[in-house]
Amino acid sequence: SLTDIEWSVGKTKITPVAHFKPVIIDGTEISKASLHNVSIFKKFKLGVGDKITVYKANCIIPQIKENFTQSNTCTIPSICPHCGSPTKIDCQNSSEELICTNVNCPAKLINHFKHFCSRNAINIEGLSEATLQKLIDANIISCFRDIFYLNNYYSTLIRFEGFGEKSVNKLLNSIDKSRNTTLSRFIYSLSIPLIGEMASKQIEKYCDCNLQKFIDHITKNKDKSFLNIQGFGTEMAQSINNYWNQHAATILEL
């Protein structure tokens, strides 16, 4: 039985998550399942109290299989559940996605930072979500570039709760180490819509592991150049070009 639909704000989109009465599948209790996007949300015509069946995709990921009731009473929020700004539905890769129109939405900001610092991206140890939030609240960081100047705030950092000289030095060393990275990690860290870890590795190979070649492909050939990469469609190529148009300064600063 469906109990609620939560709209979770991520780094690029707002994802519907179905909550239901707990069930046991393969020996574990589950009570929620991601619906991934607006298209899938609409497909199931969900409403609180609906009778649904669930399963584990690949024996791991909880998914809704069927909705027997289809009351279709759950609605798509018109405002962001985190910051209250208007939302809009955007079509990406043939699927409808709900996004917050506020570029400075705090939830999007913290998730962008979390992804940027994550192990498969720039890989900075010591920047947990809680620490990142403290840095944002203290107006120490507001963009990715600021992370690489945290050494200027040494005396402030050692006064943070749970921090000390040893932990701050460890963090700053991790930041220094992260400066030497690969093109694929760098591209992946930017959270370009439709460009995940595998696509970033394909771009790296296509650009001979060279950042300048990546930039040249964007600036000289616009969105057409990346269509030469196997598996890349027009929406993926256009997404890279759109990101550059909006965030060229960020890439060049980093």
DSSP state of 45: T
What value does the mean pLDDT take over residues 29-45? 95
Q: Read out DSSP for 154-202?
A: HHHHTTSTT--HHHHHHHHHHHHHHTS--HHHHHHHTT-TT--HHHHHH
The CA distance from 17 to 231, in Å, is 29
The CA distance from 211 to 118, in Å, is 20
Each residue's pLDDT tens digit, 95-153: 899 999 998 898 999 999 999 999 999 999 989 899 999 999 899 999 999 999 999 99
Identity at 8, one-letter amino acid code: S
Identity at 148, one-letter amino acid code: F
Name the band, by pLDDT with cuts 50, 70 and 90, for residue 47: very high
User: In which residue are the tokens 């930041």 written?
Assistant: 175
Surface-to-core class of residue 122, CB atoms within 10 Å of its CB (0-12 exposed, 13-18 middle, 19+ buried):
buried
Identity at 123, one-letter amino acid code: N
Each residue's pLDDT tens digit, 52-96: 999 998 878 999 999 999 999 999 999 999 999 999 999 877 789
Decide: helix, strand or coil at residue 5.
strand
pTM: 0.81
Q: CB count, 10 Å around CB of 112?
A: 20
E strand or H helix at 27, and its extent?
none
Decide: helix, strand or coil at residue 116.
helix
Each residue's pLDDT tens digit, 173-211: 999 999 999 999 999 999 998 899 999 999 999 999 999
Q: Which of 118, 155, 153 is nearest to 136 (CA)?
A: 153
Name the band, by pLDDT with cuts 50, 70 and 90, for residue 223: low
- Ramachandran region, residue 162 (left: φ > 0; alpha: ψ -120 to 50; beta: rest): left
Decide: helix, strand or coil at residue 127.
coil
Token couple for 171: 């963090």
